[in-house]
Amino acid sequence: MITLKDISFRYKKKAPLFENLNLTLQPGFIYGLLGKNGAGKSSLLKQLCGLLYPNSGECNVFGYRAADRNPEMLQDICLVPEEFSLPALSIATFVKTNAVFYAKFSHNQMQAYLAEFELDETAKLSTLSYGQKKKFLISFALATNARLLILDEPTNGLDIPSKSQFRKIMAAALDEEKIIIISTHQVRDLENLIDNILVLEQGKIIFNQSIAAISERLTFEYNLAGVPDAEIIYAEELQGRKAGIVANLTGYETRVDLELMFNGIVKDAGKINERFATYKYEV
């Protein structure tokens, strides 16, 4: 389990980014971390890896204080950052030199992921395209079998077939011990993959709900013509029609439209959260 307890953090000479931030992440789930530019997503993820230290409060990862960067904890964390530079080594040499830091690294899995993404292990990392480098890093991260996998914008640079391969591979990699956090602006790429949405805004978690809870409570409509305004929780123009979110009063669960969901939360998180606070009294 991961717990952030009363985390406060500021970059030097800047206003506080996090103030008394609290968050718990449970194994067995894929979390989608969403937020506008500058919301604090990368800074939050760095707290989990012990790459940034809180000014007060504590970030605890699998029983270790993240800031201590205990080697036992670090071999159970793998971060694929949004920006990276890779050395002029072949894939095989990189794997050989870096796999040793991860006690549960599986060379068989690494081979399988490389095959899935059509990567040749004799290829030099520095000569790969951006998308191929990304696929290599995702393969390596999964093969570490680290319990905490953090992927910052993993689908950036992936072509369309690779995006669906990515979704398939991630879903298969999840087990009851793992916590996977995917931070992205490409919300459509997370559809049918994430279990829980976390939305960060100006250093605050403004929304934290499971996809199951969302589809139980909300319905996503693509033609709101005729629906009384009072019943609409969020609306936007979509291809000449009014699309949006209404309360789910039927009991049937429908697909969660992550883009509408995110836009609705950013517009008025209070109104959406209200639906979660009042739900139990209506059914």
Ligand X SMILES: Nc1ncnc2c1ncn2[C@@H]1O[C@H](COP(=O)(O)OP(=O)(O)OP(=O)(O)O)[C@@H](O)[C@H]1O
- How many binding residues for ligand X (CB under 6 A)? 11
Of residues 76 and 153, the one with the C-beta less far from ligand X: 153
Binding residues for ligand X restricted to 146-185, rule: CB under 6 A: none
Residue 225 CB partners (closer than 8 Å, separation 6+)? 241, 242
Binding span for ligand X by CB under 6 A among 37-45, 138-146, 230-238, 243-251? 37-45
Q: Could you say whether residue 15 binds ligand X (CB under 6 A)?
A: no
Q: Could you say whether residue 37 binds ligand X (CB under 6 A)?
A: yes
Please answer whether residues 50 and 68 qualify as being in contact, where contact means their C-beta atoms are separated by less than 8 angstroms: yes
Binding span for ligand X by CB under 6 A among 40-48, 102-110, 213-221, 254-262? 40-48
Structure tokens at 262: 């995110």
Cα–Cα dist 38/53, whole Å: 18
Q: Could you say whether residue 32 binds ligand X (CB under 6 A)?
A: no
Burial class (CB in 10 A: 0-12, 13-18, 19+), 19: middle
Q: Could you say whether residue 39 binds ligand X (CB under 6 A)?
A: yes
Helices (H) and strands (E) in the chain, counts: 8, 13
Structure tokens at 112: 């399988």
Interface with ligand X (CB under 6 A), residue from 7, 32, 42, 261: 42
Binding residues for ligand X restricted to 43-82, rule: CB under 6 A: 43
Nearest to 117 by CA among 138, 99, 97, 96: 138
Q: Could you say whether residue 14 binds ligand X (CB under 6 A)?
A: yes
Binding site for ligand X (CB under 6 A): 11, 14, 17, 35, 37-43
